[in-house]
Amino acid sequence: MHTSLLKYINGHTSSVLSSEEVILIESVFKPKKFKKKQYFLQKGDVCKYYAFIVKGAMRQFSVDDKGTEHIIHLSVENWWVGDRESYTALTPSVYNIEAWEETDLLTITKADFFFIIDKIPAIALMIRTMDQRNFIANQRRLNSSISDTADKRYEEFERCHPEFVRRFPQHLIASFLGITKSSLSRIRRLSLKKTV
């Protein structure tokens, strides 16, 4: 189960993990299975684990005062899940994280995470790379949400994440993009006409 995580780590560093480092990684990342619709984190709880998705799909969302869900993240294999603010500051989360499919995770506590960052240079490099990519992606998403049309946002989403289009329903994608489900249906119809 750790093979995909080890491959992910090696893909984010120029050094090769030693056998001792592999054993250490395997000892701190604990496997956990989630059924479809099972919560990894619920609003009000402290996020005690971060997790690497080995198999499956998850969604992170908030719920407003009217009961409307707002998708913050969609995640599939080789993505990480968790509420970084709650995990780091040990504060109650404002988000829910739920398995959208049956999902296999490798989870790690905050204490173990900081321990392996100190012990394994490849992990520290991976974290820096992930942070840079995450910052850039969030900046692009924010800019897109305030300056791009709904059509352009979906076009970019479909181009960057074709697997999400196949695995998540329209209402979740619409929420992630900040548009209505009916707008997304219209955009997809027009997109299909262009390809025919």
Task: Convert the pLDDT of each residue in 166-185 to its tens digit.
Answer: 999 999 999 999 998 888 88
Domain with 69 in it: what CATH number? 2.60.120.10
Tell me whether residue 143 is in a domain.
no
Write down the pLDDT at residue 145: 87
**Phi, psi angle pair for 39, to nearest 5°:** -85, 135
Q: Looking at the structure, do residues 13 and 84 belong to the same domain, yes or no? A: yes
Q: Looking at the structure, do residues 73 and 117 belong to the same domain, yes or no? A: yes
| Token reading at 77 | 């294999």
Is 80 exceeded by the pLDDT of residue 142? yes
Write down the pLDDT at residue 109: 97
Q: Looking at the structure, do residues 179 and 109 belong to the same domain, yes or no? A: no
Give the tens place of pLDDT for each residue, 145-158: 889 998 899 999 99
Q: Looking at the structure, do residues 102 and 29 belong to the same domain, yes or no? A: yes
Domain containing 186 equals 148-196
Q: Please give the Cα distance from 62 to 70 (Å, whole number).
A: 5
Tell me whether residue 135 is in a domain.
no
Q: Looking at the structure, do residues 78 and 152 belong to the same domain, yes or no? A: no
Tell me whether residue 140 is in a domain.
no
Q: Looking at the structure, do residues 7 and 92 belong to the same domain, yes or no? A: yes
Write down the pLDDT at residue 192: 67
Q: Looking at the structure, do residues 105 and 176 belong to the same domain, yes or no? A: no
Residue 37 and residue 43 in contact, taking contact as beta carbons nearer than 8 Å: no
Global pTM value: 0.90
Q: Looking at the structure, do residues 18 and 112 belong to the same domain, yes or no? A: yes
As for how many domains the chain has, the answer is 2
Range in 28-42, 46-60, 168-182 the model is least confident about: 168-182
Distant-in-sequence, close-in-space partners of 5: CB < 8 Å, separation ≥ 6: 25, 29, 52, 54, 106
For residue 92, what is the DSSP state? B
Q: Looking at the structure, do residues 35 and 76 belong to the same domain, yes or no? A: yes
Tell me whether residue 9 is in a domain.
yes
Q: Please give the Cα distance from 136 to 112 (Å, whole number).
A: 27
Write down the pLDDT at residue 13: 80
Give the tens place of pLDDT for each residue, 55-82: 999 999 999 999 999 999 999 999 999 9
Residue 120 and residue 5 in contact, taking contact as beta carbons nearer than 8 Å: no
Q: Looking at the structure, do residues 68 and 94 belong to the same domain, yes or no? A: yes
Write down the pLDDT at residue 61: 97
C-beta atoms surrounding 83 within 10 Å: 25
Is 60 exceeded by the pLDDT of residue 88? yes
In three-state secondary structure terms, 141 is helix
